[in-house]
Structures are given as C-alpha cells and as structure tokens.
Structure 1
Amino acid sequence: MKAVRMGAPHPCTTMKPLTFALLRQLVDRKFHSGEMLAQRLGISRASVSNALHGVEDYGLALYSVPGRGYCLSNPPQWLDAALIVHHLGGQAGQYQIEIFDSLPSSNTLLLQRAAQGAPSGNVLAVELQSGGRGRLGRSWHSGLGNALTFSLLWRFELDLSALSGLSLAVGVALIRALHALGMVNARLKWPNDVLGSNDGKLAGILLEAQGDMLGPSAVVIGIGLNLSTPKHLLPQIDQPVSSLEDMVAGMPGINVPERNYLFAVILRELQAILYEFASNGFAALRAEWESHHALHNQTVRLLLPDGRTEIGIARGVTENGALILETVGGMQVFNAGEIGLRAS
C-alpha cells in the first residue's frame, strides 16, 4: 500500500474541478477502483490518476493500492447548502448561500456582486481559497476542509462612519456561537481576532465596506475559522495558530462540531448581532466584547502603522470600538485600521 506524502502547495495553485469531483467519491474512507471512478464520472482511468496526483499537497492522505484503487483516509467534511439551510430553520430565509469548490477570495467576489446590487444576506463559502486575505494585506492560509472560510454581504441604512466597531461586533457573534457549542475558552483580541488554545489565532475577521458618507452602506464580512491545525501550511504561517480541534482536546463530552452545523450556528448569531448593531451600534455590545478580551487590563505593546510603538494597559474600548490605552502620558484612544496589538 502506498500512502501519498504530505507537502505544501504553491500558494497560487488550486485544484481542478475534476479533482474535487473525485474526492467527493472517496468520502466513505473505502477503496474505490480507478475503473469504477472513471465509469462514474465518464472519464478515462488515466484522467482519474492525473486528477488525483498531488492531492497530498493539500493536507490529504490518499492511499493507492494496485488492484484495490484509491482510499482517502481523512476526507473533508464537505459543505452542503441544503444542510446548512436545514440547520438554520426559520432563519434560512435571511440568507442566500452559495458554495464554491475554489476561489481566490470570497470577499473579492462578493464585493463585486455588492456593487452590482446583490441583496443583503448573500453568503459565499469556499472549500479551498487560494488568495484569502486578512488585515494589513496579510494572507489567510487554509487547507481543504480544515477551516470554515466565507463572506457575508450585509446592507445597512447607515452611513459609513456609523459602522465603527462593526468588526468587534462580529467578534462577539463568533464568541456567542463558539460558547454555545462548548468552546468556552475562546476569547477576543482587539480589533478583529478570535483566540483559542495557548492564545493562538483561531479566527480572523476582515470587513470591507461600500457606500455613501450619508448612507446607505454595504459591508462584506469575511471570516476564516480553523477547525483543525493545517500542519502542512504551518511553514507559511508567521504567528501562533489554534483550532477547534486543539480546543476540544482534553474536554470530555465536547467535540468539533460538524462543519455545516457550525456554519449555521455562526450565521444565526451573526444575524442577531447585525440587527442589534443596526439599531443600537456597537455601544450596546461594548461591555460584552470587553468581558471576552484576552488582554483586558494587561500591559500591551501597540504597534502603529508608522512603525512607532506605544506601551500601556488595555483599559477597554470606546463606544466606537477604538482601543483605550493607559500610558505614562495618560489615557489615549487608538482607532481601528492599521493597528496591531501584541502582548508585551
């Protein structure tokens, strides 16, 4: 039996549609002959072999045995729009969910659709992103099936300035969802990260807005959440990371949620938070956000866009989501944007 070795894909590569179709045939962890796979998809056996070549580069363990065929020992939990809608129940009507095998960036595509008039509640989820983006132009790395990466379009009757603090509000929605699923150790880090085990990054939030200064406005909310640690991608990641798998280790009775159910729980919490934000702004969520801030009342080093640093004690956030830092010169306020927070 031959086990295909794991490696790290080139960041610009992505899977072919045929490869996704074949991987979906291998979800049962059983061996399937190349001939049978070829017949099911109406292709040649050579095409099967070529399409499955290199899938190990995406963190998959594919076994190839002469006379028996192919077996995928760690198949992804594939996203299923119908199953997500089922889990959403009465809230399903708020969303229009579309799932892509691969995209460079769900945020980029949804921003284009927003400009073309796409309605609020549009959701684009991606099994494998080749160009996911984080704050400050950083890349978001995720493998196949080990993360939940999606973008949500939400329209507000608010002007752009009234959206201050929205990324922190989205963080509260993620915390509510994770705590409801038993991940009570998840915490927030200003301005838009969710931390898991050992203060590693569990999830990131990227907001991109369109609109007029006087309103209305549209926001694309991009979220990436690690379900398991992408070991094959660790060499490309320049900061501590965590995952739901890491968090449930040693927690009796708590398991990593099924991916579609997890997605639905997050969407439900997002809907509640976004309606609340539209009515009352971030001020109504400020105390809840502060109660989950991992660095609240701790000495921190604030990295500013121009390279300067500020040292002080994190004393909370304003009603607009700006950081309040107690420094030797007194209380100072720093707005969201190109500001990163690091523990001293």
Structure 2
Amino acid sequence: MANLLFEIIEFLADGKFHSGEMMAKHFNVSRVSIWNAIAKAEDVGIKIFSVRGKGYKLQHPISLLNEKIIKNAMGEEGSWFDIKVLDSIDSTNNYLSKIAATGHPHASVVAANIQMQGKGRRGRQWQSALGESLTFSFLWRFTKGAAGLSGLSLAVGVALIRALKKINISTALLKWPNDILIFDEGVYKKLAGILIELQGDTDGQSAAIIGIGLNLNLSKTQLEKIDQPATDINNLVSEKIDSNFFMAIIIKELAQALASFESDQFKPFKDEWLSYHAFQDKLIDIMLGNSQTITGKAIDISDTGALIVRTDEGSKSFASGEVSIRSAG
C-alpha cells in the first residue's frame, strides 16, 4: 500500500485534479485500492484533497527526488556515487549509519522524500514534509581517524554555500559550527543544518555520516512547527529550483570539499569560511554543555575549526560540538 501511495503522489505531483477512475486504470488496480492508499496519506503527513466530480490533488505542485534524474543531472560523475532515494524513512542518518557499519560503499547518498524523525543537533528534530525540504545523508570514508576530522562540519558548510551560489543565492551565511543562515528583515533565519556522526577508530580509518536538511518550500504549517526563525530556497530565488538538479549540484560540491578535507583538513577552507561567518567580530553568547554562558566577540577560527572568542578573561577557543551559539543582540 505504501508503494502505491507514493506512486499516486508522483502522479499527482503536477498539482492538478486527477480522477480515481483514471488513476485506477493507470495503475491497473481497483478504485477501492486507490481510495485505501490515499486514506493512508495523512499517516505520513501528506494532505491530498478530494473534490466530488473532480478527483484528487495535492495542495500545490511538488518535485519529488528521483535517483536516476539526479545521476543524469550529474553527468559522468553520477556513476561515481551510490545514490538511493527512499519514499519515506525515520531518519536518513539512522538508515545510513546502520548500513555503513556493514561495509556500505564509500561516497554513498541516501535521500528521502519524507523524513519522519530527522535528527538535528543536541537532540533536536529536523522538521520536514513532502516537497518542502531536501533531507539526505552522505557517507564518506576517511583513511584518517576521527581525531583528524576536526572542522569537518565547517568544511561541509562551505560546500553548501558554494552549491547555493550555483543557483544564484549569494546571501547565505554560516553559523558556527553547522548552520546555514539568511539575514532577512533584521533576523537571522535558518536555511539548512548539518549533523555529522562518526564511526570507526580515533586514530585508524573512520567514516562520516553527514546529514543535511535544507528548506526548499516551507508551508505555513511547517514554519509553525520549527522552534526558530526559518526561511527557504523558494523565498530566495526568482524561478522555481528543481530539487533533483539542485541535489546533483550539492553532491558534486560535497565530494569536492570532502576530497580536499581528506588531503589537507580544514585549513584550506578557513578564509572562505570566515568570509561567510554570520557573527564575525560580533558580540555573541556561548552556551556550554554545563549550562554556563560566556559572552564575547567572535574574532577568528583556528586551523582545526575551533571558534576563537575574545572574552573579558582573554581569548578562548571552543571546539566544534561543545557549544551552541546565538547572537547576543
């Protein structure tokens, strides 16, 4: 039933009305099967409208991810990656973490059209709905251990900024250590987030599962669920962006950045990262894991991606993953 539901959703992706009778003929099933499948839509957060005499439609047209289209958009490079698109999943990071532990290939991508329990940093949940976000995870195997991957999330942030520039979004900023922001109407609004989970030895070989959530076209309902100001790609471009085309751009930029990081770690990214730093030379609050808050001015990033802050007690550095950060106003 789940497969039929997503086949129906793909059929309805144009945002127009389609009759149950026509869909039953198209899928070679009964009209009752169509009705039963559509009745399950709300279980995965999908709203399908039904109007007597017209049929069924989605609230608006959507672009579903398709692995073949993504690979074709990547050209020759598409054959270098193992790309899988799932209809729905609890978390792409969870899914990829499990199969990575069993030897799943390097440079693998798992994306989902619907992610039910996407993971954010510090136990938060990444909110996503059909057609409203890009949610995917990228597996990259490193010859160095986890101890040598300091600053990885910052390098991934730079790769996302580069991808955004390819679709003419040049106003994106980076928030240490793992968010993409847009400054809009006097407010920093979240556009994307990064969550990295590591497997392997501290000093031996390791694997990074890089989870990314990027807002495409958020509904009012979805915006109300997010616990911070947010924006989306749709608000930043004049023409609709095809999600498969954009996904292909992101994968290529990520692979290029990760290959560079493998060779030279974070140092080559440092100046570029600083040029996008949302809070550079600004007063910030740093909230430590023990609930202690430190105020200071963000003045630099170390060669390993640590945030350097000038406080009343002198300059201090904070390693990625230890603190949260927000504007002090």
- The TM tier, using the shorter chain, reads over 0.9
Q: 1:279 aligns with which of 251, 255, 263?
A: 263
Cα offset for 1:38? 2.0
Paired residues, what number? 325
Residue 173 in structure 1 maps to residue 164 in structure 2? no
Q: 2:243 aligns with which of 239, 250, 259?
A: 259
| Segment drifting more, 105-114 vs 169-178 | 105-114
Look up the SS of the partner of 2:122 in the other structure: helix
Whether the 8 Å CA contact 2:15–2:62 is kept in 1: the answer is: no
Post-superposition Cα deviations, 1:112-166, rounded to whole Å, max 9, x if no partner, equal: 1111011111110000001100111110001101111100100111111110000
Whether the 8 Å CA contact 1:77–1:145 is kept in 2: the answer is: yes
**Distance of 1:174 and 1:233 partners within structure 2:** 23
Cα offset for 1:60? 5.8
Cα offset for 1:27? 2.5
Post-superposition Cα deviations, 1:87-116, rounded to whole Å, max 9, x if no partner, equal: 111221321100000000111111111110
**Distance of 2:202 and 2:267 partners within structure 1:** 20
Whether the 8 Å CA contact 1:88–1:268 is kept in 2: the answer is: yes
Structure 1 stretches lacking a partner, 5+ long:
1-14, 249-253
Residue 270 in structure 1 maps to residue 247 in structure 2? no
Q: Which residue in 2 is equivalent to 1:295?
A: 279
Q: Which letter does structure 2 place at the counterpart of 1:288?
A: E
Q: Which letter does structure 2 place at the counterpart of 1:331?
A: S
Q: Which residue in 2 is equivalent to 1:228?
A: 217
Q: Which residue in 2 is equivalent to 1:212?
A: 201
Q: Which letter does structure 1 place at the counterpart of 2:196?
A: L
Structure 2 stretches lacking a partner, 5+ long:
none
**Distance of 1:90 and 1:35 partners within structure 2:** 41
Alignment of 1:1-344 (within 5 A): 16-53=2-39, 55=41, 62-198=48-184, 199-248=188-237, 254-344=238-328
Q: Which letter does structure 1 place at the counterpart of 2:226?
A: I
Q: Which letter does structure 2 place at the counterpart of 1:341?
A: I
Cα offset for 1:245? 1.3
Look up the SS of the partner of 1:196 in the other structure: strand
Look up the SS of the partner of 1:86 in the other structure: helix
Q: TM-score, normalised by structure 2?
A: 0.94
**Distance of 1:292 and 1:48 partners within structure 2:** 49
Whether the 8 Å CA contact 2:44–2:116 is kept in 1: the answer is: no
Look up the SS of the partner of 1:200 in the other structure: strand
**Distance of 2:168 and 2:44 partners within structure 1:** 29
Residue 101 to residue 197, structure 1, CA distance change in 2 (3 Å): farther
| Segment drifting more, 277-286 vs 236-245 | 236-245
Root-mean-square deviation (CA, aligned residues, Å) is: 1.8
Post-superposition Cα deviations, 1:190-227, rounded to whole Å, max 9, x if no partner, equal: 00000124221100001011111222111111000001
**Distance of 1:213 and 1:55 partners within structure 2:** 44
Q: Which letter does structure 2 place at the counterpart of 1:29?
A: G
The structure richer in strand per residue is: 2
Look up the SS of the partner of 2:309 in the other structure: strand
Residue 37 to residue 160, structure 1, CA distance change in 2 (3 Å): same
Residue 230 to residue 63, structure 1, CA distance change in 2 (3 Å): closer
Q: TM-score, normalised by structure 1?
A: 0.90
**Distance of 1:171 and 1:208 partners within structure 2:** 15
**Distance of 2:137 and 2:311 partners within structure 1:** 37
Post-superposition Cα deviations, 1:52-108, rounded to whole Å, max 9, x if no partner, equal: 237478776644232332233513201111111111112213211000000001111
Whether the 8 Å CA contact 1:197–1:242 is kept in 2: the answer is: no
**Distance of 1:323 and 1:29 partners within structure 2:** 46
Whether the 8 Å CA contact 2:132–2:217 is kept in 1: the answer is: yes
Fraction of identical pairs, as percent: 43
